[in-house]
Structure 1
Amino acid sequence: MGNSHSHNHSHSHDDLKGRNLIISIFLNIVITVAQVIGGLLSGSLSLLSDALHNFSDVISLIISYIANRLSKRKASLQKTFGYKRAEILAAFINAATLIIVAILLIIEAVKRFQNPQEIESNVVIWLSLVAILGNGFSVLLLKKDSETNMNIKSAYLHLLTDMMASVAVFIGGLLMKYYQMFWVDSVLTFAIALYLIYMGYDLLKDSFKVLMLFTPDQILVEDIVKDIQQIGAIKNVHHVHIWQLNEDEIHLEAHIDFEENITLSQFDVILHDVEEMVFYNFGINHVNIQPEYGKCGDKDVIVQD
């Protein structure tokens, strides 16, 4: 038995989201190819590291696009939730790749710092400018949806950090051109990598919590149980499970022990009160309650298998 206060996005908005992802994919493929060629010609590690990050952007954007398309597929008898978790899985994968790329960059930065090499700074400067413009445009395209969608946020973070990395590479190119500070190439690469780890960790943690069916951080199970037990006729609430399916759905499952052997119509009235309470107080929009009366078992344990 349950309730659905779910909010569905319009098809036109989903189509716009997909179009923005495709544009960003195309831009980052162009930037990646240009930076690889430029990095090899100039000998710049920071430019090659930026190209590697851009390539990870391409992969993350493709993953995000596929997940976005899958999430629209309807449920079936074999897939009763459909692909609603596809975007959460994509966010987890993209956050993990951010951190992996960062570790690889740190290793290369340390190696290059020990053996600095002269770099053709003009190529670095111009290609970093191209990357700033391309990634900056992609960031603007995805910014709005990143605020409400974990999958789009993962792609947005890839692009945002890459734009900032390109700014750092640009500054490094100027320092190398006018002050021959070639060691700055490695230092900037190291700084970029640390920032990637910082940005990727929170998203990795949040998406992991959703995939593991953890209770959302903003919800306290004890508060929900206390509020529900204040409704008349309810004796006890136990066997509680609260999990987040995706950005739009938070589910509550619980057993409720009643004071009296009430009728089904009476239960429906109480169920409606429970649904309204948990939706407006805690944002829970899917409720499944198992009613009980005089059933043996441990009613003092709130959470149990």
Structure 2
Amino acid sequence: MSEHHHHHPVSGKNLFITIVLNIIITLSQIVGGILSGSLALLSDAMHNLSDVVALLIAYWANKISSKPKNNQKTFGYKRAEIIAALFNASALFGIALFLIIEAIHKFLNPETIDSILVIALGFLSIVLNAISVLLIKDDAKHNMNMKAAYVHLLTDVMTSVAVVVGGLLMYYFNLFWIDSIITVLIAGYLIKASYALIVESISILMQSVPDDINIDELKIDIEKYEPIDNIHHLHIWKLDDHDIHLEAHIDFNENLALKEVTKICDEISDAIKKKYHITHMTIQPEYEKNDNKELIYS
């Protein structure tokens, strides 16, 4: 028994414009960072690059989610988004570490930085990111991928403000070492965000039980039904960000008619889905079957 969730359609036009704006920000900051000698600009560019990839993943996921399942891909293409997210987060984690190492080197050996270019490109990033936030604000209320992108874009505005403040301090007070400090702060944020995404993606790919589901509590909820003797061979996993699957064997203590068994399984399924937000549940009813009765057994 399964439920179908209809996700709010993402505005393709607004998403496309947002992607273009963030590509402009990223490329201008990479070029500006190289020309000005500012690592803070480069680190902010990497932050914006993460948004470009996140937006592309959201756009891609929105397109491929409608592709039909087939005999080879019975789950469809839902995991493609998770694989892409893991690759993106791992790459950003490595880039952030590199930026921190370079920032330490530049802090110990400060160089003159073209602060005017840093300030100008920082302001450009603030303006274009603010426009991007407004463009996807409505989609973020209904779509998890877009919500994540929305939060990233908001943090981009804040990191760009930090870049501008650093540029002003360099311009008026020649505090060129501040560039390294801002770089470390932005790279540190990138590491924190990337690490969380890496852990979550690996957890989904490893078919781990979602953190908010307590297996022992779920076992009690199922075994409290009078005709049920025990639940065993339990598996719970997330297919993607939205869908949680459960399969289990359930022993009945009576040799009931199939119609009655089906009714009880439906009652259990409806109650468990509602309480634990499970989207697809498969129950195998059994009676006096000689198999292993451990809750977790493969």
Tell me the TM-score normalized by structure 2.
Answer: 0.91
**Does the CA contact (< 8 Å) of 1:240 and 1:303 recur in 2?**
yes
> In terms of mean alpha carbon deviation, does 138-147 or 199-208 score higher?
138-147
Aligned to 2:227: 233
Number of matched residues? 298
Deviations 1:11-48 (A, max 9, x none): xx4241x4333222100121123223333332222223
RMSD value, Cα: 2.2
Matched AA of 1:14 = P
Counterpart Cα distance in 2 of 1:201 and 1:142: 25
**Does the CA contact (< 8 Å) of 2:245 and 2:278 recur in 1?**
yes
Aligned to 1:119: 113
Map residues 22-171 of structure 1 onto 2, 5 A cutoff.
22-142=16-136, 145=139, 151-152=145-146, 155-156=149-150, 158-171=152-165
**Cα pair distance change 1:7/1:90, threshold 3 Å:** same
**Cα pair distance change 1:156/1:130, threshold 3 Å:** same
Deviation at 1:201, TM superposition (A): 2.2
Counterpart Cα distance in 2 of 1:147 and 1:91: 21
Matched AA of 2:5 = H
Map residues 171-250 of structure 1 onto 2, 5 A cutoff.
171-250=165-244
**Does the CA contact (< 8 Å) of 1:68 and 1:86 recur in 2?**
no
**Does the CA contact (< 8 Å) of 1:149 and 1:247 recur in 2?**
no
Aligned counterpart for 2:9 among listed residues 4, 9, 14: 14
> In terms of mean alpha carbon deviation, does 193-202 or 43-52 score higher?
43-52
Deviations 1:139-181 (A, max 9, x none): 3444565576554455445534433321111000010111110
**Cα pair distance change 1:147/1:210, threshold 3 Å:** farther
> In terms of mean alpha carbon deviation, does 149-158 or 94-103 score higher?
149-158
Q: Does 1:304 align with 2:294?
A: no
Counterpart Cα distance in 2 of 1:7 and 1:283: 12
**Cα pair distance change 1:38/1:194, threshold 3 Å:** same
Deviations 1:182-217 (A, max 9, x none): 110111101111111122222222222122111111
Partner SS, residue 14 of structure 1: coil
**Cα pair distance change 1:161/1:196, threshold 3 Å:** farther
Matched AA of 2:211 = D
Aligned counterpart for 2:278 among listed residues 270, 276, 284: 284
Deviation at 1:260, TM superposition (A): 1.7
**Does the CA contact (< 8 Å) of 1:237 and 1:257 recur in 2?**
yes
Aligned to 1:5: 3
**Cα pair distance change 1:282/1:97, threshold 3 Å:** same
Deviations 1:115-147 (A, max 9, x none): 211112111111100011112332344456557
**Cα pair distance change 1:143/1:243, threshold 3 Å:** farther
Tell me the TM-score normalized by structure 1.
Answer: 0.89
Matched AA of 1:282 = Y
Counterpart Cα distance in 2 of 1:285 and 1:83: 17
Partner SS, residue 235 of structure 1: strand
Counterpart Cα distance in 2 of 1:85 and 1:55: 22
Structure 1: give runs of 5+ residues left out of the alignment. none
